[in-house]
Chain A
């Protein structure tokens, strides 16, 4: 957690040619904070969490959040192996992701294929109403291999939108890449580009590795993390703070403890107890760390916790303050998801299932006059617009470029 702006996610891999890295990425994350393990600790039940995450869980209910076994903070042990894996993966990640994305982007701009990744609940055969797709003239290929991934993550990926797509693989099994218009086609297995006639021959012996120089793979100097092996994480010698038995401490004695610890002693007894618990967790997880922070830094984190509890400062955390957050893209993405969902529902509704009874069908039929399609989504989109101002960024015109929403403006 070097910086809050670094919000990476396992799903980042899904639209790249390397979707199989999503489960790897996911396995290196703590299930409590969903971020990469920071100072991973192993419980008595052999589950692993960040030191701070598991300490907070244990001081909250004394149980492992994964399996509900009882455990104690004093029994936690460090998991150095995971820590090393996480750190080397975190180091390599931006580079790998960059290469994976570049592999798509450098070949962008070709009109040969227009495909999109969509959720599978969308009607495959249905009318294409993807606003985003309409906006982007040349959309990249992002089809994914379904066969290879066994994890649930990949289940939602389907190959759709085969319109004008002559070399679309009807089996849906091939993984392919954008066409740069060089007259070559990619091997669906290894991605190497070659003449179309050559592909079929090549495929039979393809072992997944491109036959020769795959430019990027060669040009990147591997990050050697060998030095890390020479210096394995070292335990530091900071002693752990004991938990207090608060019921045995009168207010005066409690505040005295706070003074000894050097943490603020204002507030109600209830707040004091919560603050002390938080401090012990922060302090001890820092003591677990192979790169402990200064006491001053810890006090600052305690102060941040204090604010997030709604105490002294506004407890709101603005998404838009996060530097790397592409708010506009996210909002647009989300907006189009909602729109699609609503559109889908409307479409289905217009073709009610037989088992729902004749009465409704006739009612629907009567209403389904020619101007129905434009009238109906307007109402729906309107209500969702009102409820969800998040789907437009302040600096952006609200809901541009989408005919359905225009009717609500």
Chain B
């Protein structure tokens, strides 16, 4: 083994996701000499206010990946109940069982070494479509989503347009 387990596995995942990318998702290392930092682009799910948008995010992998999960941060404006104002994504698959701040989450939804970048990004895509109201990372966005849905959707659509430079 000429390389660490983590980098080897990331390399493998990169290859898989490049050869056969899931619908509306692209991801890969930001630079060719550091496999531990990736950039991903997620297409806004159809039938949601995110539709038509492309949302860039940064994934950072720990040295003991895949034992521990990566972190994921949107690098664009993202108004969503489960995304912190600084862009950090807070969903169960990014938390290892045991260090999950949201105790109600099932262990089966959480990080495990058999998960993958692809599964994370697919989960995040469906998170865009269906926010989890119970564990808001952005309290204001959650309240707006709950109480003033049309304002929330307009805000999201405005961000989509901004992101596309329209």
A residues sitting closer than 8 Å to B (CB atoms) are: 1, 3-4, 7, 9-12, 14, 31-35, 52-53, 56-57, 60-61, 63, 65-66, 68, 119-121, 153, 156, 301, 304-305, 307-310, 315-320, 322, 327, 330-331, 333-334, 337-338, 341-342, 344-346, 348-349, 352-353, 356, 360, 364, 367, 376, 379-380, 383-384, 387-390, 393
With a cutoff of 8 Å between Cβ atoms, the chain A residues found around residue B116 in the complex are 34
With a cutoff of 8 Å between Cβ atoms, the chain A residues found around residue B43 in the complex are 121, 341, 344-345
Given contacts A119-B23, A320-B32, A356-B157, contact A376 B4 (CB under 8 A): no
Given contacts A34-B13, A156-B20, contact A341 B8 (CB under 8 A): no
Q: Are A9 and B12 in contact (CB under 8 A)?
A: yes
Separation of A301 and B2 alpha carbons in the complex (Å): 9
Cβ-neighbour of B5 out of A11, A33, A315 (below 8 A):
A33
Cβ-neighbour of A367 out of B13, B16, B28, B166 (below 8 A):
B166
Interchain nearest-CB distance for A130 vs B (Å): 15
Given contacts A317-B35, A364-B166, contact A156 B13 (CB under 8 A): no
Q: Are B26 and A319 in contact (CB under 8 A)?
A: no
With a cutoff of 8 Å between Cβ atoms, the chain A residues found around residue B67 in the complex are 56-57, 60
Within 8 A of A (CB), among B23-45: 23-24, 26, 28-36, 39, 41, 43
Separation of A53 and B113 alpha carbons in the complex (Å): 9
B residues sitting closer than 8 Å to A (CB atoms) are: 1-9, 11-16, 18-24, 26, 28-36, 39, 41, 43, 49, 51-54, 56, 63-64, 66-67, 75, 96-98, 107-108, 112-114, 116, 157, 160-161, 164-166
With a cutoff of 8 Å between Cβ atoms, the chain B residues found around residue A12 in the complex are 19
Interchain nearest-CB distance for B92 vs A (Å): 13
Cβ-neighbour of B164 out of A52, A57, A310, A349 (below 8 A):
A349
Q: Are B23 and A34 in contact (CB under 8 A)?
A: no
Cβ-neighbour of B6 out of A14, A308, A352 (below 8 A):
A308
Q: Are B20 and A153 in contact (CB under 8 A)?
A: yes
Separation of A310 and B4 alpha carbons in the complex (Å): 11
Known: A32-B9, A319-B35. 15 other contacts (CB 8 A): A4-B2, A7-B12, A68-B97, A308-B4, A308-B5, A316-B33, A316-B36, A318-B32, A319-B32, A334-B26, A341-B24, A345-B164, A380-B165, A387-B56, A390-B28
